[in-house]
Amino acid sequence: MAEVGKIRIKLPQSIKKGEVIPVRALIIHPMETGLRKDKDGKPIPAYYINDVKVYYGDELITSMEWTIAVSADPFMTFYVKADKAAPLKIVYKDNKGGIFEESVQINPQ
Amino acid sequence: MSRGTLSRLIMFLLIACVISVIAPQNSVAEEIKEYTPNVSPEEYEKRYNKAFGEFTKKMAEEGNPADMLLDEGKELFHKVDGTQGRSCASCHGQNGEKLKGAATTYPKYDPGLKGIKTFAMQINICREKHMGAKPLKYDSPEQLALEIYTKSLSNGMPINVSIDGPARPFYEAGKKFYYTRMGQWNFSCALCHIKYAGHMLRVNLLSVNRNHADHWPSYRLEWAGTGSLQKRIQGCVKNMRAKTSELHSEEYRNVELYLTHQSNGLPIQVPGLRM
What CATH number corresponds to the domain at position A99?
2.60.40.10
Residue B137: how many other CB atoms lie within 10 Å? 11
Domain B33-62+158-274 CATH (choose: 1.10.760.10, 1.50.10.20, 3.40.50.720, 1.20.210.10): 1.10.760.10
Residue B24: its pLDDT value, please? 46
- Is the pLDDT at B138 greater than 80? The verdict is yes
Cα distances (angstroms) measured from residue B1 to each of B9, B11, B14, B219: 11, 15, 19, 78
Where does the pLDDT of residue B11 fall: very low under 50, low under 70, confident under 90, or very high at 90 and above?
A: low
Helices (H) and strands (E) in chain A, counts: 0, 7
For the stretch B72-87, pLDDT in tens is: 899 999 999 888 888 8
Residue A62 within a domain:
yes
B1 in contact with A, Cβ within 8 Å: no
Partners of B59 on chain A (C-beta within 8 Å) are 75
From B63, B145, B225, residue closest to A26, measured CB to CB: B63
B236 is catalytic: yes
User: Is A27 buried (19+), middle (13-18) or exposed (0-12) by CB count in 10 A?
Assistant: buried
Residue A68 within a domain:
yes
CB B86, CB B80: distance < 8 Å: yes
Give the structural domain span for A99: 7-106
Partners of A1 on chain B (C-beta within 8 Å) are 65, 69, 141, 224-226
Residue A31 within a domain:
yes
CB B102, CB B159: distance < 8 Å: no
**A88 torsion bin: left (phi>0), alpha (psi -120 to 50), beta (else):** beta
How many domains does chain A fold into? 1
From A1, A26, A75, residue closest to B141, measured CB to CB: A1
B226 in contact with A, Cβ within 8 Å: yes
Looking at chain B, the whole-number percentage of residues with pLDDT higher than 70 is 89
Q: B66-152 domain in CATH 1.10.760.10?
A: yes
For the stretch A14-72, pLDDT in tens is: 899 999 999 989 899 999 999 999 999 999 999 999 999 999 999 999 999 999 999 88
Per-residue DSSP letter, B98: G
Query: What's this model's pTM, rounded to 2 decimal places?
Result: 0.81
Domain boundaries, chain B: 33-62+158-274, 66-152
A28 in contact with B, Cβ within 8 Å: yes
For the stretch B168-217, pLDDT in tens is: 999 999 999 999 999 999 999 999 999 999 999 888 899 998 889 889 89
